[in-house]
Chain A
Amino acid sequence: MAGMPFSFAVLLDRPDIWRGDSLNRAGTTTVSCGFPELDAELPGGGWPAGALTEILPAHEGIGELRLLGPALASLSRSGLPLVWVAPPHLPYAPALAAAGIDLARLLIVRTTSARETLWAAEQALRSNACGAVLAWPQETKYAELRRLQIGAEGGRAPAFLFRSAKTAGESSPAALRIGLTAANGGLAVRVLKRRGVPLARPILLPAMPPAVRRKNHHVDRHPAAAAAARNFPARLVHA
């Protein structure tokens, strides 16, 4: 060892030294979220493939599915099937088609117990035949989530679990945990857990459905009949 110049930079470059301020960017395949601000903060630049991502919305319907929309649309475009396990309501086909999801490659699984939900999700992940698996398990324990994580490993599909925001304090083996709250008509995304440095501040994403921003929309999309801008009469709402 004597006689060799010592370089600190070379020492830090060793693969067995983990630097606290860096995100793990190597070795993870990801599916891009479609939102550049979010992609920049996720290891690998997107939703991790072959791993669990937990989505914890503060309230049902604040935009958890719209958040996934671009990723699901891009997976659907490449011909990969999507599996939705135990969704809380019936997914509305015209909305999915408008979001770019191919209905021919969509599978809905209805279950009668949390156990069946986890089993079906595990089967879908292990088969490695899907582009993405979305599941709404009711109550889950750490061991069951760990099993799902193991089932997903080695595959190419990201697994999205939707759980209640109350479970944010519990420990979970998921690779990524996202908390969602609404803020100023947009979505505040808090990365609760990721592989790498934890993120302190939330990421703000703009409001998604354009109709909300436009304040009116016309069913008839005929280009000749352009919709005139109307101010929605305030007195009807706040009487």
Chain B
Amino acid sequence: MPVSAALSLVPRLRIVPRDQAAETEALLGIAAWAGQFTPGVALEFPSAVLLDLSGSLRLLGGIAAMKQKLLRDTAEIGYRAVIAGAPTPRAAYWLAAAGEEKFIAELPGLEPALALLSVEIPGWERETLDALRSIGVRTLGQLRSLPREGVARRFGQALLRDMDRALGRLPDPRNFFVSPARFRSDIELPAEIAQAEMLLFAAGRLIAQLAGFLAARSGGVQCLVLKLGHRDRTATEIAIGLIAPSRDAKHFTLLLRERLSNLALVEPVRSIALEAEDVVPLSGRNLGLALEQGKPPGEWEHLVERLRSRLGADAVYGLASRAEHRPERAVAVAEPGSQPSRLDFGERPFWLLDRPKPLTEIGPVPHYEGPLDLLAGPERIESGWWDGDDVARDYFVARTPGESLVWIYRDWRGEGGWYLHGVFA
């Protein structure tokens, strides 16, 4: 039907040009994602993916459960699939291409199922199909009933070979699909999106695909990049880094949600793409045998990543102690989980002030909210002549009138005087 006729029937029709390259890429993406169910994935262009599930049938819980799972999971990555199964790949492809969602378990059941399919399904050439129609053969069953030598003489061996392969009489080897080393998938959004939170739904499909891809390779990623395509500007990139490699779709979604909630879009987004470059091997986690009461223990690294994704990478840190006499240098901000050095000091306060606070001295007594009562000391710390930060201090433990214990020192360098350096909480 010409376009003008279609538009006259439905005035609000949206015409989108067919993008063969995008369709092929989508098919490759589905094949990579399907690798999580079985290593035997083959492609049948232009729009079919064959999965050899004979080894995984037990694991997936039988044919009915497998079909439900496949339907659900393909819907999760945003595709509607017609799923059929048969003992041979060619027969399965023909059944699915005909729209018959049948699952044939054994070879004997194959012939009656294929008999009803139209001869147009196997994809033979136009002249062959015209010739078959002229002799009144409409279905594959009718073709089977013709004598073999006659068919071979009239149409060549191709038809007989295809039928035999479908019925399992001849072997039908396939080249298995090898998933690529990197993951890249994109979606053209049906309408421009101006709010960052609404991107999460579309990104969810890409994340599900990434999770399947990683499961197929038994790998994890430590860095994801989400690219938002705009009309005029260059794409905005959102990079999410993880401490430890992971392939948990829920965790990725959580991290992305935190990032998107802080993001203000400069221009509306037309397309999103998800890329993951380095795939590292990551084995699965063994679950315990006993059922634990309450919530299962969470992942420490996931918590750190989640906190960092909203508060910023430098707002979440660990501590390390260094071999230093000067108290302000004995502690350093570090990545959580760094190995500390075990050192023995005297009594040290729990809190250290960012910078020592000068105290007023009335008489010989330092004052902080009132006169301080010196309880222990002096501890002389003299250090640092080698890097120019020379200190000479006498440290005391003092008690304030409010009954809190503080750590003060008297400075023997510079102008001298008393300073408050820490609080024993």
Within the assembled complex, what's the spacing in Å between the Cα atoms of A214 and B375? 9
B7 interface contact, C-beta 8 A: no
In the complex, which residues of chain B have a beta carbon less than 8 angstroms from the beta carbon of A99?
350
B294, B321, B337, B346: the one within 8 Å of A219 (CB) = B346
What is the chain B residue whose CB lies nearest that of A235? B364
A141 interface contact, C-beta 8 A: no
B163 interface contact, C-beta 8 A: no
What is the chain A residue whose CB lies nearest that of B374? A237
A199 interface contact, C-beta 8 A: no
What is the chain A residue whose CB lies nearest that of B344? A221
**Interface stretch of the complex, out of A3-11, A12-20, A105-113:** A105-113
Q: Please report which residues of chain B, range 125-181, place their CB below 8 angstroms from some CB of chain A when the two chains form the complex.
A: none
**Interface stretch of the complex, out of B71-79, B87-95, B200-208, B295-303:** B295-303
A114 interface contact, C-beta 8 A: no
Flag if B346 contacts A211 (CB, 8 Å). yes
Flag if A90 contacts B376 (CB, 8 Å). no
B318, B346, B402, B403: the one within 8 Å of A103 (CB) = B318
Flag if B365 contacts A90 (CB, 8 Å). no
Flag if B337 contacts A211 (CB, 8 Å). no
**Interface stretch of the complex, out of B111-119, B226-234, B277-285, B306-314:** B306-314
Nearest-Cβ distance from residue A67 to partner chain B, whole angstroms: 9
A169 interface contact, C-beta 8 A: no
Flag if A96 contacts B376 (CB, 8 Å). no
Given A94-B321, A129-B299, A212-B397, A60 contacting B306 (CB threshold 8 A): no
Nearest-Cβ distance from residue A53 to partner chain B, whole angstroms: 16
In the complex, which residues of chain A have a beta carbon less than 8 angstroms from the beta carbon of B379?
217, 219
**Interface stretch of the complex, out of A36-44, A116-124, A190-198:** A116-124
Flag if A128 contacts B297 (CB, 8 Å). yes
Flag if A94 contacts B351 (CB, 8 Å). no
Within the assembled complex, what's the spacing in Å between the Cα atoms of A218 and B373? 19
Q: Please report which residues of chain B, range 367-394, place their CB below 8 angstroms from some CB of chain A when the two chains form the complex.
A: 373-377, 379-381
Q: Please report which residues of chain A, range 61-95, place their CB below 8 angstroms from some CB of chain B when the two chains form the complex.
A: 61-66, 81, 83, 87-95
What is the chain A residue whose CB lies nearest that of B379? A219
Flag if B405 contacts A61 (CB, 8 Å). yes
Within the assembled complex, what's the spacing in Å between the Cα atoms of A124 and B304? 9
A61, A95, A110, A239: the one within 8 Å of B406 (CB) = A61
Given A90-B354, A107-B316, A108-B318, A61 contacting B424 (CB threshold 8 A): yes
Flag if B376 contacts A65 (CB, 8 Å). no
Within the assembled complex, what's the spacing in Å between the Cα atoms of A119 and B319? 22
Nearest-Cβ distance from residue B365 to partner chain A, whole angstroms: 7
B288 interface contact, C-beta 8 A: no
Give per-residue flags for A226-239: 1 if the beta carbon is below 8 A from chain B beta carbons, else 0.
00000010001101
In the complex, which residues of chain A have a beta carbon less than 8 angstroms from the beta carbon of B302?
127, 129
Flag if B338 contacts A104 (CB, 8 Å). yes
Nearest-Cβ distance from residue B87 to partner chain A, whole angstroms: 47
Nearest-Cβ distance from residue A184 to partner chain B, whole angstroms: 10
18 contacts between A and B (CB under 8 A): A50-B294, A62-B403, A89-B352, A89-B353, A92-B330, A93-B320, A93-B331, A95-B348, A98-B348, A106-B336, A107-B318, A127-B299, A129-B297, A211-B397, A212-B375, A216-B376, A219-B380, A239-B365
Chain A residues close to B by CB (< 8 Å):
50, 58-66, 81, 83, 87-99, 102-111, 116, 119-120, 123-124, 126-130, 154-156, 181-182, 209-212, 214-219, 221, 232, 236-237, 239
